Amino acid sequence: MKEISGLNELESARLKDTAATLGTFDGVHMGHKQIIAKVLEVAREKHLQSTLITFDPHPQMVLGKKGPIEILTTLQEKLELLKLTGIENIIVIEFNRQLASYPPEDFVREILLSKVGMKALVVGHDHAFGRNRSGNKALLKDLSGKMEFYFTAVEAYKIDGKIVNSTLIRNELSHGSYRDAVKYLGYNYSLSGKIVKGHGMGKQLGYPTINLALPHGKLLPQKGVYAANAIISGNKMPGMAYVGERLTFGDATISVEINIFDWNNRLQAACADVELLDFIRPPERFESAEKLIEKMKKDEYEIKKRFQIQEELN
């Protein structure tokens, strides 16, 4: 896979004969994967290079027309997921107000045709881009005839009658069903960040934790306890994660932390990933530290039981 960053690098890459798609692709979810699969199919049939154009930062973070947004995947997380799809070229273009004001006809002509070497274009059912989001399916179909490129739009992808999109997944993660969110994503949601020093509260309770500082704008899932894996320096280790305030101790700071089971190694890494496997329970305020410890022991038992069942299934 070739990664191209910015318009200058795109110019130097001298791409030609590509089957392209473009969009934010936040989450690289099951709906996105249908679009990517179609790009790969068209590329094979027409002997073109499969190419995906994405934007960073998220357009809503720049334009803010629908209010603030929290993203499912940072740019690095998105690129890692896209690498798994088999796309040959991934182009990252900086999204700014100037790009947002580009007439779609000019974007197609000056970027897609001239710089990307596009011969075929695949978009999602509701895709729109350019000034006032006027670059929609109808306009692209019209331009494909005038500018002589193949065009197709992929139908909406549904699971259990719901159209899978990033907004649906954000809602499910924030205050819906974690299992449904995973079904729509096609993978377990992860929180990746720098390892930071905590207050040592977990250690005092007999459950030492690794604490994470997440990148700005990353969506936090519903607060509570999760069965989780910590992935550190390529090693995957089971544990229980917590997202939320330390209610029992009157600490309103939202923390992301994981207690790794049966792990006494010294921590050397600067970063970690926490892969959330299942939601266990919402946060609770306990009348004492002892009551909290009792509950944590029950959580540990429940999560270890789930890990054991999963191992038996595998």
Q: Which tokens in the block code for residue 248? A: 């029992």
pLDDT at 306: 85
Give residue-wise pLDDT tens across range 245-262.
888 887 778 999 999 998
Amino acid identity of residue 171, one-letter, is: N
pLDDT at 311: 65
pLDDT at 284: 92
pLDDT band at 310; cut points 50, 70, 90 = low
Question: Which residue ranges make up each domain of the chain?
Answer: 2-163, 188-313
Omega before residue 57 within 30° of 0, cis? yes
Q: Which of 273, 152, 174 is nearest to 220 (CA)?
A: 174
Q: Do domains 2-163 and 188-313 have the same CATH topology?
A: no
pLDDT band at 197; cut points 50, 70, 90 = confident
Class of domain 2-163: alpha beta
pLDDT at 35: 98
User: Strands across the sheet with 150-154, in order?
Assistant: 2-5, 89-94, 49-56, 18-22, 118-124, 150-154
- Indicate the average pLDDT of the chain: 92
Q: Is residue 40's pLDDT more than 70? A: yes
Give residue-wise pLDDT tens across range 110-164.
999 999 999 999 999 999 888 888 889 999 999 999 999 999 999 999 999 999 9
Q: What is the DSSP string of 254-303?
A: EEEEEEETT--PPP--SEEEEEEEEEEE-----SSHHHHHHHHHHHHHHH
Buried b or exposed e, range 184-210, using 16+ CB within 10 angstroms: bbbebbbbbbebeebeebbeebebbbb
CATH placement of domain 188-313: 2.40.30.30
